[in-house]
Chain A
Amino acid sequence: MLGRFFVFLMLFMGAMLGLVLADDLIALFVFWELTSLASYLLVGFQSEKPAARRAALQALLVTGTGGLALLAGLILAAIAGGSWRLSELVSAGEAIRSHALYLPATTLIVLGCFTKSAQWPFHSWLPGAMQAPTPVSAYLHSATMVKAGVYLLARLDPAFGGTTAWTTTLLVIGGVTMLAGLLLALLETDLKLVLAWTTVSALGALVFLIGPATEESAQAAMAFLLTHALYKGALFMAAGNVDHEAGTRDLRDLSGLIRAMPITFAATAVSSASMAGFPLSLGWVSKAITKAAAIEAGGFAPVAVVTFATLLLVAIAGVVAIEPFLGRRSEAAREAHEAPPSMLFGPLALASLSLLFGLFPDLVSDAVLTPAASAVAAFPVAVEAKVVKPFDWTLALTLVAFAAGAGLYVLWQRRAQRWRDRLEPLVSRGPDRGYDHALAGLGRLASWQTRVLQPGLLHRYTAATFGVIVLATTTALFRGDLRLAFPLDGVRLIELAVTALTAAAAIVAAIATTRLLAVTALGMVGIGVALIFMLFGAPDLAITQFMVETLVVVLLALVLVRLPGFRLSASADRPRALHAAIAGATGLLVMALLLGVLAEPFDAKLSEWFARASVPEAFGHNIVNVILVDFRALDTLGEIVVVFAAALAGLAAIAARAARRGEA
């Protein structure tokens, strides 16, 4: 069990590493899809739970559909930019933005990135993916895989960014996702789902920050990326500890855990402070850079969104850090113990880093943030991270947001249940329900088209096949100029006799009222065709035709004695007039085609070559056989594989009938 888990996790690690290292667009796409597949396996790891299976499928379908859009978008981008290399596309921004394919390519790529990074309205798979074991949630669904879309948007920023369409889309969708995620987080009762919604919100924030494609926004996005990775990983693992030691993640049952789990509480508190952006944490530093970028992006709206997000994050930090740990000791807290050291190391290490980098931001600003921001902006960018700031109106705004957030948390403690009850009908009609409807609709569409296209009635298949052949070929014939030839000289009497006999047999087969008569007449038609082969000097074909007709009669006889009703019914379920029309049209079409072929000059190049080469190259006088087993042996191999496969399919069909009979 654990072995399987690590195989999937390693598979994911490899794919994710490939995704961020790939320079080739197709390689990037392949790794992109591999991360989706690994995520499917990991979300559905506890496959005995129906909820886990549903969540895994939902994640795969949403990100997989987006992946297809991304592939199309990447191809268009490669056409527009003239290169399949990401590094070359980045410097071909001018050409891409003025290309006619810019808008379709942008739409498709952005769609792919939005599904992968759980942007509204595709976000609902991410909270569902919390069915996965906690390390997976911390690793895939907060730190790495869901950042793939953000990563690609950031990488393509220099090539695609700067236009109104790009900036508006990213700002609006990112902003909506950021705020909606935070509001929904406040309505959750499950600690892990609260974190999942803040992840959705953080992804929205990253998209929001990438949107303007300026120097400041690149700095802010990269600073926030690092901050979020550090605090969210620690919080997820701490939530896992709580779940493991207290036996529940439900916020309504958790309080007063601080005495039992002081170390977990310390890690949670520091990380939550970083999430809220309190001073002395990395969150404080990145918040300052974000504020600067929001002001630079222009105007009131971005600043208002960022401030409002700060307010909500402060309240959520209270929900995550204060609610389970402080207050009166609950039932669950009495039983709880501190987690073992192996489970404490992860959250503590990440929380310490949040604190350390918060106090000494120079440790990361030059080594990590500057190169990252320069890569996003495609020109050198210096990230200046400061702990101490002069007091101005932005700082005042931040302090107001802190105070309001604290107030909101106090309000949440009293009113949360009422909010949940009141908003329940609204929330339950969200995109998650839409996904269910879409999936059910897809199922209905599939069964409808299967009923129409696969009725299981041979005469419908045959009618459809020949109907399409007639329509398509006739259309093609009339588009060119059709010349027909009627070479009637040199016709022998015996040819006419055989032809008349064959035609008569065909008519009898068509109007026969019993199966035996129909089979006999059909055999007659085959014999007639064989005779024609004989008359025109093709003994191999003629013998084959004779033998095939013999075996067909044997097989049909075997089938016939097992069919009910000896008489052919002329009942209403078979539209005989339509069938007659299709059959007649097919016959006329084939005749027209053959007469048309005769009107063209005969090119004897191939047949002359075979006649010449047969003996010296293949030591055989029978050209037909030499072609079959030597010159075109690969074709023959394919044909006998088809014969073999047909026999196996027939055997399976007969065995299935026998099995059904056995049951009955």
Chain B
Amino acid sequence: MSSLILRAGTRILAPLMLMFSVFLLWRGHNLPGGGFIGGLVAASAIALQGIAFGPDAIRRTLVVPPAAVAGAGVLIAAVASLPAALAGLPFFTGLWLKLDLGGGAVLPLSTPLLFDVGVYLTVIGSACALIAALEEEPSLEDTRERG
């Protein structure tokens, strides 16, 4: 499955796709994008690495086990509901913090953004967990060689 062209191309493509996925996540609130789409793009990038360099490349890219990434995503999304709950507002009310960076630039941080990061991580973790596990299954050619 692994070829030189694929590996060389992946070295360039995968980082670009990962950056693009963060970009999609970030701009999602106002333009097409968001955590789900961004997560899918990132998962595609990591899957590409997996195809080119094997399942270990997926684990190296994510550092922690893929399933843990997914679990952390669910946890972060749930945590995003806490500020509103502590403030006595209805569940999942969006709260915004607009940081003034000076010079007219404003950095808007919000609980919906945190929630979207949770969605992003859940999608990446879930997809990569399955892809890595499937890649480690012996293919028919392997079994034939062993048999």
Interface size class of B (residues with CB under 8 A): 35 or more
Say whether A629 contacts B74, CB under 8 Å: no
Cβ contact of A540, chosen from B37, B81, B135, cutoff 8 A: B37
A647/B29 contact (C-beta < 8 A), A629-B115, A629-B116, A640-B77 known: no
Q: Interface of chain A, helix or strand or loop or mixed?
A: helix
Complex CA gap A625/B92 in Å reads 15
Say whether B94 contacts A618, CB under 8 Å: yes
A622/B31 contact (C-beta < 8 A), A540-B37, A654-B134 known: yes
Distance of A271 from chain B, by nearest CB (Å):
63
- Is A644 close to B, CB under 8 A? yes
- Is B51 close to A, CB under 8 A? yes
Complex CA gap A643/B124 in Å reads 10
What 6 pairs across the A-B complex have the smallest Cβ distances?
A647-B126, A547-B40, A620-B29, A633-B92, A539-B32, A621-B30
Complex CA gap A618/B30 in Å reads 10
Complex CA gap A587/B23 in Å reads 38
Say whether B91 contacts A543, CB under 8 Å: no
Q: Which residues of A contact B28 (CB under 8 A)?
A: 622, 625
**Which partner residue on chain B sits nearest A544 by CB separation?**
B37
- Is B70 close to A, CB under 8 A? yes
Distance of B139 from chain A, by nearest CB (Å):
5
A554/B137 contact (C-beta < 8 A), A629-B34, A629-B116 known: no
Say whether A651 contacts B129, CB under 8 Å: yes
Complex CA gap A530/B87 in Å reads 41
Distance of A35 from chain B, by nearest CB (Å):
39
Cβ contact of A621, chosen from B31, B34, B91, B123, cutoff 8 A: B31
- Is A626 close to B, CB under 8 A? yes
- Is B22 close to A, CB under 8 A? no
- Docked complex: A591-633 residues within 8 A CB-CB of B: 618-622, 624-626, 628-630, 633
Q: Which residues of B contact A629 (CB under 8 A)?
A: 29, 34-35, 94, 112-113, 115-116, 119
Q: Which residues of B contact A630 (CB under 8 A)?
A: 92, 94, 112
Cβ contact of B44, chosen from A554, A564, A621, cutoff 8 A: A554
Q: Which residues of B contact A544 (CB under 8 A)?
A: 36-37, 40
**Which partner residue on chain B sits nearest A654 by CB separation?**
B133
Complex CA gap A554/B130 in Å reads 11
- Docked complex: A616-664 residues within 8 A CB-CB of B: 618-622, 624-626, 628-630, 633-634, 636-637, 640-641, 643-644, 646-648, 650-651, 654-655, 657-658, 661
- Is A438 close to B, CB under 8 A? no
Distance of B78 from chain A, by nearest CB (Å):
7
- Docked complex: A502-542 residues within 8 A CB-CB of B: 539-540
Q: Which residues of B contact A539 (CB under 8 A)?
A: 32
Q: Which residues of A contact B123 (CB under 8 A)?
A: 640, 643
Cβ contact of A619, chosen from B36, B110, B118, B140, cutoff 8 A: B110
- Docked complex: A547-575 residues within 8 A CB-CB of B: 547-548, 550-551, 554-555, 558-559, 561-564
Cβ contact of A625, chosen from B29, B41, B71, cutoff 8 A: B29
Interface residue tally for chain A (C-beta within 8 Å): 45
7 A/B residue pairs, CB under 8 Å, sorted by A: A561-B1, A562-B139, A625-B29, A628-B116, A633-B80, A648-B67, A655-B133
Interface string of B47-61 (1 = CB under 8 A from A): 100010000000000
- Is B88 close to A, CB under 8 A? no
- Docked complex: B105-137 residues within 8 A CB-CB of A: 108, 110, 112-113, 115-116, 118-119, 122-123, 125-127, 129-131, 133-137
Say whether A622 contacts B133, CB under 8 Å: no
Q: Which residues of B contact A561 (CB under 8 A)?
A: 1, 139-141
- Is B14 close to A, CB under 8 A? no
Say whether B29 contacts A621, CB under 8 Å: yes
A640/B67 contact (C-beta < 8 A), A625-B29, A651-B129 known: no
Distance of B44 from chain A, by nearest CB (Å):
5
Complex CA gap A11/B10 in Å reads 64
Q: Which residues of B contact A547 (CB under 8 A)?
A: 37, 40-41, 44
Q: Which residues of B contact A559 (CB under 8 A)?
A: 134
Say whether A644 contacts B44, CB under 8 Å: no
Q: Which residues of A contact B136 (CB under 8 A)?
A: 658
Cβ contact of A551, chosen from B47, B80, B113, B135, cutoff 8 A: B47
Q: Which residues of B contact A550 (CB under 8 A)?
A: 40, 44
Say whether A622 contacts B29, CB under 8 Å: yes
Say whether B108 contacts A647, CB under 8 Å: no
Distance of B145 from chain A, by nearest CB (Å):
14
A636/B119 contact (C-beta < 8 A), A619-B96, A641-B74, A654-B134 known: yes
Q: Which residues of A contact B91 (CB under 8 A)?
A: 634
**Which partner residue on chain A sits nearest B32 by CB separation?**
A539
